[in-house]
Amino acid sequence: MDMYASAGVGVLGGSLYQDIPSQLPHNSGHGGGARHKIGLEEGSTLAQIFGLDSLEVNSFHHQGVKVPAPGIRITARGDDGFVEAFVSRCQ
């Protein structure tokens, strides 16, 4: 998820963690290239592309989805429940 995608969640009516390290200090696995596992939602495009239910990824983000906006479908989460990928159902 990049900065622009995260910002779109706020514009659409959701909310963000603006700075994960300061707002969720216990959740340190999301910056500086930290490698961690994410679970892919069954039936999501990511799951279909990779044919898997989980992936190992590198994280470089400091923002994240707090409350998804209407029309946002979460497609991947970290083991800690943190949103790692989403798609918009908005037209």
Mean pLDDT per block of 10 residues along the chain (91 residues) reads: 50 80 71 80 94 89 84 88 83 51
Question: CATH 3.40.50.880: does it fit domain 3-88?
Answer: yes
Residue 52's pLDDT is 96
Half-sphere exposure of 45 (CA within 13 A, CB side): 7
Residue 3's pLDDT is 41
* Strand ranges across the sheet with 72-78: 54-59, 34-40, 72-78, 83-88
Amino acid letter, 14: G
Residue of 34, 38, 87 whose CA lies nearest to 62 = 34
